[in-house]
Structure formats: C-alpha cells, structure tokens
Amino acid sequence: MAAPFFGLDVFTSNRFGGNPAAVCLLDTVADSAWMQQVAAEFNQPATAFLWINESLRQLRWFTPVQELPLCGHATLATAHALYETGRASPDDPIDFHTQSGVLTVWRRDRRVWLDLPAVHLAEASVPNEVLNALGLEDAAWFGYSDYEYVVQVDSPKQVEDARPDFSRILSFPVTRIAVTAPGGAGADFTSRVFVPAIGLNEDQVTGSAHAVLGPLWAARLGRNDLTAVQSSARRGELALTIAGDRVHIGGNAVIISHGDLVV
C-alpha cells in the first residue's frame, strides 16, 4: 500500500523560502510511533498526517523528535495540498479535527487562512538571563505566558542581529521565545522564533506564534489588519486579521514535491 505525500513551502510564494512541511494522506489512522518515524525520515520542521474518520478530517503533526499539540504552518500546508489537488473545493472551508480542537481553514485572495484563538501576554520586566540568552543588550517590552516569552525590541535590525544561545534557552520554563519589533521589509512588524525544546532551534515561519504577536501589535498600532515578516534565514510573510478573540492568519504556499510513501 502507498500513501500520497507532498512537500510544501509555506508562508511564501517562492520555492525554498518560508517554512517547509511534509503532508501525508493516509487511508486510516496509523500508529503514533510509525508516524514519528516517518516524520524523522522526512526531517522537516513538521510533518502532517491526515486521514478521514466517519467523514471527519483528522489531523496530527510531528517534528522529527516529537508530536506537536498545534502547528499552524503544517495545517496550512495540508489545506493547500487538498485545494491544489482537487481533494477539496477551493470555495469551501475545511475543518480539521485535531487534539487541539477543530481548526478551520479557508481560501481567500490567493492565500490559505487559519483561524486560531488570540493569546494575550502578561507584562513583566525582562529578565537579564533572557537578554543574555538572546544576545541582546536591552528590550523595549517583555511579556510571557505559560508557553512562551516575547521580547520586543526597537528595530527589525535588532531582531535580525539576535544571536541566541540555545542551551540557555533550553533552561527556561517555557517552550518558545519570540523576538519582535515594529516594521521591517514593508511589513507592520518583524519577528524571529526559537523553539529548541521541540527540536527546532529557530522555527523559520511560525503560524501559531502570530496568534500571540498579532494581538500584541494590533493593540500597539491600533489596527486589526496587519502584515508580518518572520526574518529567519528562509523568511516568510503573513497576513493577519484580529477578529475579537480570534486571529485569522493567512499565507501563500508552494508544492515543491509529491510522491508515494510505501507503508
């Protein structure tokens, strides 16, 4: 038996930019250990596995080393693959049933959009050990949740000049650290995201992080429609709409490979 798979670059219109993902289309649910092995074999930041159970699209995501509770870019990759190959009508939204609940994705203005709950941060003084771990001298603002730290600096150059020490970041009691600043490459704000705790030192373009950064910058800038750039080595672009307690995250994607996985 063979399972179709696709390789995509997400949050970009250019091949070899944005955030890569693999998508595997299964006939039925597979063993978790097997899916983890496949994700390690693909060795992408995330591999998505999709199957249909009682007419419901079931979706799970794995990095090369562990399963993820949520992955924005691999969800967009899955939807793009379904739309582009005619497995879903481009006029219809797609509901993915996941361990984090139902994620709704739709296509509009040549982008695929994902609906996520907005995440708000508590404000605090930035700890010196966080600045040291990021290679930063100072910060304009610091916020945190149980899952992440967000460090705001004054300029996109400071974001790009950050030199993270991943061993230090691993010692913090959070999974993710984002550095962000206003402006950059014609966008409303810029960021970089570090997640060594899940096996990705720097995530190239992070959909779920913008459910945090979007509300932050919407409040800063007084607008609900925003553009963002994640200035990793591969770079990516996102469109955001803040809709009450939800964040709509849009991006382009490109299929760069497809084939059959022998299972």
**DSSP characters over the chain:** -EEEEEEEEES-SSTT-SEEEEEEE-SS---HHHHHHHHHHHT-S-EEEEEEETTEEEEEEE-SSSEES--HHHHHHHHHHHHHTTSS-TTS-EEEEETTEEEEEEEETTEEEEEEE----EE-PPPHHHHHHHT-S--SEEEE-SSEEEEE-S-HHHHHH----HHHHTTSSSSEEEEEEE--TTSSEEEEEEEGGGTEEEESS-TTTHHHHHHHHHHHHT-SEEEEEE-SSS-EEEEEEEETTEEEEEE-EEEEEEEEEE-
Matching residue, tokens 């010692």: 171
Query: Encoding tokens for residue 18?
Result: 């944005």
pLDDT at 1: 66
- The Cα 197–Cα 167 span in angstroms is 10
Query: Encoding tokens for residue 213?
Result: 């950064």
Q: How far is CA 196 from CA 1, 168, 169, 175, 247, in A?
A: 35, 10, 7, 8, 25
CATH number of 2-117+250-262: 3.10.310.10
- Show Cβ contacts of residue 37 under 8 Å, excluding neighbours closer than 6 positions: none
CB distance 12 to 229 below 8 Å: no
Q: Give start-end residues of each CATH 3.10.310.10 domain in the chain.
A: 2-117+250-262, 122-237
Instruction: Give me the average pLDDT of each 10-residue run along the chain (263 residues).
Output: 93 96 96 97 97 94 96 98 96 96 95 96 97 97 97 98 97 97 96 95 97 98 98 97 97 97 86
CATH number of 122-237: 3.10.310.10
pLDDT at 2: 87
CB distance 16 to 233 below 8 Å: no
CB distance 6 to 22 below 8 Å: yes
Which one, of 253, 251, 252, 255, lies nearest residue 85 by Cα? Answer: 255
